[in-house]
Chains A and B, each alone.
Chain A
Amino acid sequence: MLFGFPLLSLIIWLPIIFGLVVLVMGDRNLKVTRWLSLVGAVAGFLVALPLYGGFDSSVSTMQFTERSVWFERLNVFYDLGVDGISMPLILLNCFTTPLVVIAGWEVIRERVSQYMGAFLIMSGIVNGVFASLDAVLFYTFWEASLIPMFIIIGVWGGPNRVYAAIKFFLYTLLGSLLMLVALIYLYQTSEGSFSILDYHQLPIPMTAQILIFIAFMLAFAVKVPMWPVHTWLPDAHVEAPTGGSVVLAAILLKLGGYGFLRFSLPITPDASQELAWLLILLSLVAVVYIGLVALMQQDMKKLIAYSSVSHMGFVTLGFFLFNAYGLEGAMVQMISHGFISGAMFLCVGVLYDRMHSRQISDYGGVVNKMPVFAAFFMLFAMANAGLPGTSGFVGEFMVIMGSIEVNFWYAFFAALTLIFGAAYTLWMYKRVIFGAVANQKVEGLQDISRREFSILAILALAVLLLGIYPLPLTEVMHVTVDNLLEHIARSKL
């Protein structure tokens, strides 16, 4: 807690309160609704900044902690705190929300208050997931984050939105319900504690560890998503409105990765070591196979969705290498993927708003009509392909370094993605942007507006900054990651 001020609570509840106010305001005056949403989103980002400023990166303990009884009978606490792993993710989330609000500014015309309200509420909920140190509190936020996303996909999504929304909800719910069973089991074994930090110290026999690990793995693997439980993601992405895709890719996928770091690795370290081969295998399949799948996509959003799966494969690969390069690389990859995939979806959104098509074949020669846009899109495509100097390179490079330490072939397969990633991203870029103007519709295109320019410029800055000078990010997580590695190395049998 900074000067005795409940900063984390503010970060969680401020966007939620703004979201509720926006909901109550309704659609009577769209201008007020939009501006109020923007104020809420920006305020949410501003209050999160002291989190970075006041963070002590020399210790691995939880900081900004808050703790009070929530309900006594089950020993549940309102228990908040952040460390070097969760703090950057909270910042990423607070950073993304204003962009999403601006991205939907003129595009969303129906039920604006509900759209904006849903995003603001979700922003607060996701902060809650990252900041919770109590299992029930965590689970509450975790599940609650499904509701706004379900509505966003279902109401403002594309033609097949109902199928996608329900698939998204049920898939994630399946994973998380098994996690709930594991949590109740841990509550039983720890003799009545729901504190996540208590679980970190709790000795658990091997069989139980493996079962708990599998339950957690299902929950988080669905969220990440790992192959073969990734199939909900392309559907959800394709049908979701642009803002929904951005939040889904930039934020919600990170919940899964975060779950591995907060639950699987520290609570069941022995099982993690035992089953690391499985996770590494699945990650490599995602990296290689899904990379190939992405190559074949005709739909831009689907292509980026598959590329997300492939990139998130790097994240899970990094987790289970159990060395500092791997873990830190995975963390950097999560943050960088947040920027890049968000930016890629925004770029597709810019095109879709004008042409109402996501098919690559409907485009061609866009650069002739939208040169500024083409430049931005180029930068993000390069970053997606992992070009040095962009944030995409840093994470992937670190993970590959980490995997060489463990096994040459892991590194070999992981490095293949640099080829596939470049292939599918740049091939798509070439077909959409270059060449002669393909048809009448492309002929009529107008370059990006100031609103779109500002979002893309901010993201471009972030991608370059993190690519050239990643130290501010790696610095805050360094001690926490080392501590986590030490913790995993100790047996808990």
Chain B
Amino acid sequence: MDFLSPDFAPAYPEIFLLVMVCVVMLADLFAGEKHRYLAFFLALFALAGAAVLTYSTFSTEVSYTFSGMFVDDALSDTLKLLMYLTVATVLIYSRVYISKRGLLRGEFFSLALFATLGMMVMVSASHLLTLYLGLELLSLALYAMVALQRDSSVATEAAMKFFVLGALASGFLLYGMSMIYGATGTLHTPELTAVIRSGVMDHAVLVIGLVFVVAGISFKMSAVPFHMWAPDVYEGAPTAVTLFIGSAPKLAAFGFVMRLLVEGLGEMAADWQGMLALLAIASMAVGNIVAIAQSNIKRMLAYSTISHMGFVLLGFLAINENGYSAAMFYVIAYVLMTVAAFGIIMLLSREGFEADAISDFKGLNQRNSWVALIMMVVMLSMAGIPPMIGFYAKLSVLQAALEAGYLWLVISAVVLSLIGAFYYLRIIKFMYFDTPEITQPIVFKPDVRLLITVNGLAVVMLGIFPQMLMGLSLFAIQHSM
């Protein structure tokens, strides 16, 4: 058997990032207490380098490598570029927060980069095992990040819960994959499509496999009824980690669904369409209704995430390029809003004080009207009020779902988003209508101030001019199918 060296070019960004993770770990080992920021800058450099590498291979062509287990196409490149941007933003937002809580160590950054690597592998997988590999790399890094604050019992509990439930979901997923393999005899996603289309397989086994796979996916997307971990983890983890979990991994989850359900099991669309519709409605209902009862804003945003994931699933129902690109647009919009929201929560917290109760937002307008304005924009965007980006995201997915003939689903989604509007408005109410308990004004470091401004403006401007992002999503989807 002769050994052919695979073509490494499509995987350059991953390889580079892996090397850089090791560099970060080693450098931090030898850097003294004074030079903790070294890891931070190295991590940003790693992301920038990976971005350059990804951008240089950005093309409309699809290239496979590692015996067809790894694919580099427009979808993976677009998602990766967005991930770098998101992770870099998250790291910059987190810097002050983690340094005040003794988390500014190499571990935080190397785990974050490992998680990023996992996400990259996920969105570039064209083989079920690669997909699983990426997912586990991401998950393990996240478990560790949640538990990073060792002396916090809440964080440890959250990590434990996350790990146990996550391992269970991975088990589901793997079991489902094995059934798919048993039914079709292949694990390569492109081949799966061909086999299913030819009809030479055991349909019953395949459907059971599909059910397990969808269950695994919904866990990762935190869709109801597999959402239990999300509120606890969001609340328990240090806010910097919550921000990380809530943002970039959702992009990866979208890529995961695209690779697994659309590329691999696209021929089974008739079967998974109904499942996703059910998951979507359940997520929107539970997410929006339970969020009203929350007094902790991190927990509230966890439920809001659950409902947003329901909306993302709506986009998949159309089973065409427009629908998928609508879902992708929604995910990107969601990440943009979430990063800003958690970013502000983190910026409001001080040493020994987490600004995670909703009442901590009381009178924010009087303490710092600019931040209050940005938070208001983000909340309105999440509620789907134009001209913020969240509205156009909702518009596209609703249109996709209606195109698929799910009128009842669209009407319920609309009614549920009305219920959702209430708790977003509540935040605005606290910020604008109430008087602050602490009158001390809030000041930020200039770089963070600039970043949060850009982030808030993006929520409005990309809403007023959604063409670019919508076009990007459509481009990515069209050139990878």
Contacts and interface: CB of A to CB of B under 8 A. Distances in A.
A26 B385 CA distance: 25
Nearest to A171: B418
A55 B357 CA distance: 56
Interface stretch (A175-183, A272-280, A423-431, A444-452): A175-183
Nearest to A71: B467
Interface in A104-139: 111, 114, 136, 139
Interface stretch (A140-148, A224-232, A351-359): A140-148
A154 B395 contact: no
Contact of A136 (B395, B402, B410, B415): B395
Contacts of B407: 181, 185
A166 B411 CA distance: 22
A144 B387 contact: yes
B403 A170 contact: no
Nearest to A136: B395
A169 B399 contact: no
- A26, A154, A178, A180, most chain B CB atoms within 10 A: A180
A147 B411 contact: no
B467 A147 contact: no
A141 B386 CA distance: 8
B461 interface: no
B414 A165 contact: no
Nearest to B430: A162
Contacts of A177: 414-415, 417-418
Given A73-B471, A143-B391, A188-B403, A170 B398 contact: no
Contacts of A146: 385
Interface in B3-36: none
Contacts of B429: 154, 162, 165-166
A138 to B, nearest CB: 10
A118 B392 CA distance: 23
B391 A140 contact: yes
B474 interface: yes
Interface string A179-210: 01100110110000000000000000000000
B402 A185 contact: yes
A136 B466 CA distance: 12
Interface string B374-394: 000000100001110001100
Interface in B398-452: 398-399, 402-403, 407, 410-411, 414-415, 417-418, 421-422, 425-426, 428-429, 432-433
B465 interface: yes
Interface residues of A, number: 37
Nearest to A215: B411
Nearest to B366: A111
Nearest to A23: B373
A70 B365 CA distance: 33
Interface in B440-481: 465-467, 470-471, 474
Nearest to A185: B402
A155 B431 CA distance: 10
B422 A180 contact: no
Interface in A64-112: 69-74, 111
Nearest to A175: B418
A319 to B, nearest CB: 26
B418 A155 contact: no
B433 A155 contact: yes
A178 B414 contact: yes
B432 A169 contact: no
A455 interface: no
Contact of B467 (A72, A139, A140, A188): A72
B471 A165 contact: no
Contact of A143 (B385, B398, B411): B385
Contacts of B325: 73
- A26, A111, A170, A181, most chain B CB atoms within 10 A: A181
Contact of B465 (A71, A114, A184): A71
Given A140-B386, A144-B385, A144-B387, A169 B425 contact: yes
B474 A73 contact: yes
A343 B466 CA distance: 41
Given A143-B391, A165-B433, A173-B418, A181 B385 contact: no
B396 interface: yes
Contacts of A162: 429, 433
A151 interface: yes
Contact of B398 (A140, A166, A174, A181): A181
Contact of A74 (B385, B391, B399, B432): B399
Contacts of A180: 395, 398, 414
Contact of B410 (A143, A147, A181): A181
A161 interface: yes
B469 to A, nearest CB: 9
A33 to B, nearest CB: 14
A140 B387 contact: yes
Contacts of A155: 365, 432-433
B164 to A, nearest CB: 39
Interface in A431-470: none
Given A73-B471, A177-B414, A184-B399, A139 B386 contact: yes
Contacts of A143: 385-386, 391
B399 A147 contact: no
Contacts of A140: 386-387, 391
A161 B429 CA distance: 10
Interface string A255-291: 0000000000000000000000000000000000000
Interface in B112-135: none
A30 to B, nearest CB: 16
A154 B432 contact: yes
A181 B402 CA distance: 9
A71 B432 CA distance: 33
Nearest to B392: A71
Nearest to A110: B366
Contact of A72 (B380, B414, B418, B471): B471
A185 B380 CA distance: 24
Contact of A161 (B392, B398, B425, B433): B433
A173 B421 contact: yes
Given A71-B466, A180-B398, A184-B410, A147 B380 contact: yes
B399 A187 contact: yes
3 nearest interchain CB pairs?
A71-B467, A140-B386, A177-B414
Given A170-B422, A184-B398, 16 more contacts: A72-B470, A73-B396, A73-B467, A74-B399, A146-B385, A147-B380, A151-B432, A165-B429, A177-B414, A178-B414, A180-B395, A180-B398, A181-B414, A185-B402, A187-B399, A188-B402
Interface of A: 26, 69-74, 111, 114, 136, 139-141, 143-144, 146-147, 150-151, 154-155, 161-162, 165-166, 169-170, 173-174, 177-178, 180-181, 184-185, 187-188
5 contacts: A114-B369, A140-B386, A150-B425, A180-B398, A180-B414
